Every structure is written in structure tokens, then in C-alpha cells.
Amino acid sequence: MLTRRVIPCLDVKNGRNVRGVRFSADVDAGDPVELAARYDREGADELVFYDITASAEGRNIMVDLVERVASQVFIPLSVGGGVRTIDDMYLMLRSGAEKVSINSAAHRDPDLIRACADRFGSQCVVLSIDALRDPESDPPRWTIYLNGGRVRTELDAVETAQRGQDLGAGEIVLNSIDADGTREGYDVEFLRAVTESVSIPVVASGGAGSLEHLRDAVTLGNAHAVLAASIFHFEVYSVREAKEFMAASGIPMRLDPYR
Amino acid sequence: MIAVVDYGAGNIHSVARALKRVGAAFDVTAEPAAVAAADAVILPGVGAAADTMRGLRYARVDDPVVAAIARGVPYLGICMGLQVLFDRSEEDDDTPCLGVLPGDVVRFPEGLEVPHMGWNQVRQVEDSPLFAGVPQDANFYFVHSYFARPSDPARVSGTTDYGLEFTSVVRRDHLYATQFHPEKSGLVGLRIYANFIRLAGQTPAPEFD
């Protein structure tokens, strides 16, 4: 049976891993290569590296970082942040990333999703969505923001997820800006709205603070995978503890990284 | 020498890194003569069937791969390197493949989430040297939307349950192929590569021996 995945996310700035709180404050959380190796030993199913500078310099740091991690850690690696072109994507895949997520550029120009999927295959194209819940709307509606949450669009997140699937995205990472870094839990209602609308895997992101949150994203939100940063970086919980807790709740998990 | 066939497949660097980690001596090559003369052949692959077949033909390594298999040298196919062994794939409006093994490749039926992406268990249905030291029902990393249906049940070496049970490992003599990606499957995946290089007459690095 296909297991659900636990994915530690490493926000990388200047080659160091940092933590974001609602897309802002920086706290140094260690060397990304060391952290990646630790997570692998604890049984992480995948690792995500997010370039929060999203500059040309950031891209070069990322390529170097992914190459170093990929020669030591043999699980899927994903890279995101500042990917604007097919060439950016190619560079990341060549450096050892399995998947590349595109965010702002894909929302400005959805054809980029199709172009990347045609060239490299849907399996490595991840559509990343940052959205804020509209406070007034009923039924609930989530609006997409670009550039790390700084630029509002008129795009509806659920519709954009569906269109992303149609254009060839192989996976969706759903990040709730409201919940990001708060440790108050994923926006389960948002997850459910999207997982009910698409048939590709959806990864929950933003807000994990407890093991119950990870469980709820799967059991209530039907997420295929849960992505979390700070609860793992600061050793609030180990990846192994998280997976054991989820397994005890009846979720199929890969518990032993040695088998 | 083990030839890792370079025909433009996206995961070739990952495969090379894993081989390096287990201490293999190998060449990443697009030379038809080198493939035909290799002591062992690894065919990586990811993406679509038509692209894979086009890449193999364009590099003129399709016939050398088939010839190497016919000579009986150890062969390891990964993902698309498994699927292209069969007669045809229904991907891309029906793609003729290498025809080394009788059978076809079909898409997961409606109602299943596609791609099948993530870690899933492999049930070993025979004692295979490729799986030496790998526990029964170990988890491996999969990413694919199509799966192989060998006509000959004797070719099925491992199976996986994704709502339906499909063939995730095939074997015929020294030909081995996995639908999953051992190079992305952590330590058990590296064990698969170590086992394969031993089949190719090499000695893996001490921690994998």
C-alpha cells in the first residue's frame, strides 16, 4: 500500500537553513547538508529545499547545496524558489533534484507548467500555491499570493490547482499563508477543498506545530504528504516520532528507513 | 565494465551517484559499441515511453542494449528501463518498445490517483539475487503512471499493491528490472545496486558487501 510521506522542508538563505514565520523573520537553524543527513537517518521520505532569496546568487548556492546533499542522501529531493524558466528547472534537475516546484512564474504564465512537463515529465513538475483565506467569503475561498506572499492576485487557489493538473503538474504543494510558521495547524479545510478537486498528490504545507496536526492533514485533509520545517529543525519532534504517531493513528507509513 | 546507458534520461546522474556510493566501476556512455561490449548494462529512465524510445534510437543504443541482453550479460532496467523491455506501451498513443519480454505496458485505471508517487512495498515472489539482504515487503520509491503486464507469469519477480497488484520487478536469467527507483530508495535501494554490481563481478564497498 502506498504510504503517506513526511517531508522536512529546509528554507535556505545564503547556504544556511532558516525558519520563516508568516514568510518573514529569520532564525538560523543550522547547516542544510547536516540536517538533510539527519532527516534521512530518521526516516524522512523526501526533502524539500526552498530558496527564500530566489535570486541568481541563491540559485547557484542551491545548485551546489543540492549536489552535495544528493551525493550523500539517496531519497527524493525537491527544490523550489525562484524557478522562472525551463533552464532554471533543468539546472536543478541536473544538480540532483527529483522534483522542482514552480510558484510565482507558473501563476503569471501557466504555459510554463506545460512546457516543463512536456520537456521533463509531469513527475518532476510541482505546482506550489501560496494562498490566503478570504476573511469574508462564504463558502470559503482562498486567493493566491505571489513572491513569497507579497503580491496579491485574483486567482482562486482551488481553480488554479485544477488548471495546474490539466497543464501537466504532477503534484501540488499547498501552503496556507495564514497558518505558515504559526504552529497552530494546517488549514485542513483548504486541503480538503483542493484534494477533492484534483487527482494528483497534494502536499500540506504551513502551520504544523504538533503531531496531531500532521495526522489531521492526512486523515481530515486527505493530504498525500505533510511538509514541516520548524518542528523538525528545532527537534521539537523527530521525523521518526512523527511517523510513529501517524502510523499509530492507522495511516500507512514507511517506518523503518532500513527497510 | 558496467555501461550506464546515457541516452538523455533525466535520472542518470542520480543512478551514477548511487553506483559511486556502493563502490561500482562503471562508464556512463552513449557509445553503441561500448554498450554492446559491456560486461553489464544499466538502463535508467524516467518520463514518457515515446521519448525514451526516441532517445534510445537517436543515440543508436536500442539494438546494442537488446544485443547485450541476448548475450546474457547482467542487465538492470530502472523505471522506463523496465517498461521499454516489453512489446509495447499504450502511452503516447501506443508506443512500440524493445520487445525483449512478451507483454505490454498500460496506464493505471481511472479512479486511482496518478502518478503513483511515493514509497510502497515490494513483495518478493521469488528468491532473487538482486534482493539479497532486502527484507520482504521493504519500501521503495515509485513515480510512474503506467505499469508492465508480462505475458509470462514466470517473469514476475516482485509485486506491489496500489489498489491493484502490479508487477514491480521482472527477471529473466540475468535480466533484472525494477519499476521503482533504487537510487532514490535510501539504504535498501543502495543494497539493490550493491547486489547488481556483485552480479556483474564487482565487489561492493565494505559497508554494502
Verify whether the Cβ–Cβ distance A121 to B47 is below 8 Å: yes
- A24 at the B interface (CB within 8 A)? no
**Terminal CA-CA length for chain A:** 15
Beta-carbon separation of A257 and B189 below 8 A: no
DSSP E strands in B73-145: the ranges are 75-78, 86-89, 95-96, 101-107, 116-124, 138-144
**Phi/psi at A171 (nearest 5 deg)?**
-165, 155
Q: Which of B109, B58, B66, B114 is nearest to B86 (CA)?
A: B66
Domain of B141, CATH number, reads: 3.40.50.880
- Whether chain B has a CB inside 8 Å of the CB on A94: the answer is yes
> Where is B49: in which H helix or E strand?
helix B49-58
Q: Is the pLDDT of residue A27 over 60?
A: no
ipTM of the complex: 0.92
Cell of A154: 485574483
Of A1, A75, A170, the CB nearest to B115: A170
Q: Which residue in A145, A153, A203 sits closest to A174, CA to CA?
A: A203
Q: A121 touching B, CB under 8 A?
A: yes
Judged by average pLDDT, the poorest of A177-186, B133-142, B178-187 is A177-186
Q: Which residue has the higher pLDDT, B136 or A234?
A: B136
Indicate whether A210 pLDDT > 80. Answer: yes
A130 noted as active-site residue: yes
Query: CA Rg, chain B, in Å?
Result: 15
Evaluate if residue A21 carries a pLDDT over 50.
no
- B50-102 pLDDT, tens digit each: 989 999 999 999 999 999 999 999 999 999 999 999 999 999 899 999 999 99
- Give the mean pLDDT of A62-89: 92
- Banded model confidence at residue A259, pLDDT cuts 50, 70, 90: low
Per-residue pLDDT, averaged over A15-33, amounts to 62
| More confident position, A153 or A233 | A153
Give the residue on A whose Cα is nearest the Cα of B183.
A74
Task: State whether residue A90 sits within 8 Å of chain B by CB.
Answer: no
| Nearest Cβ partner for A121 among B46, B141, B188 | B46
| B3: pLDDT strictly greater than 80 | yes
Q: Which residues of B touch A (CB under 8 A)?
A: 10-11, 13-14, 17-18, 20-21, 46-48, 51, 113-121, 134-135, 138-139, 141-145, 161-162, 183-190
Which whole-number Å values give the CA distances from A256 to A40, A231, B22, in the listed order? Answer: 11, 20, 21
Q: Domain of B122?
A: 2-208
Residue with cell 547545496: A65
pTM of the model: 0.93
- Of the residues B90, B97, B181, B207, only one is catalytic, namely B181
The 10s digit of each residue's pLDDT in B190-199 is 999 999 999 9
A3 CB near a chain B CB, below 8 Å? yes
Q: Are B123 and B158 in contact (CB under 8 A)?
A: yes
- A15 has a pLDDT exceeding 90: no
Q: Do A120 and B47 touch (CB under 8 A)?
A: yes
User: Is residue A218 left, alpha or beta, with left meaning phi > 0 and alpha meaning psi from -120 to 50?
Assistant: alpha
The mean pLDDT value for B34-55 works out to 92
- Count of alpha carbons within 13 angstroms of residue B20, beta-carbon side: 13
Question: Cα–Cα distance between B105 and A84 in angstroms, integer?
Answer: 34
Total number of domains in chain B: 1
Full set of structural domains in chain A with CATH = 5-248 (3.20.20.70)
Closest chain A CA to residue B17? A71
Contacts of A66 (CB under 8 A, 6+ apart): A49, A77, A79, A92, A95, A96, A97
Q: Please report the pLDDT score of residue A23 as a whole number.
A: 47
Give A26 to chain B, closest Cα distance, Å.
Answer: 31
Chain A nearest-CA distance from B19, in A, is: 10
Q: Which residue is catalytic, options A40, A45, A130, A216?
A: A130
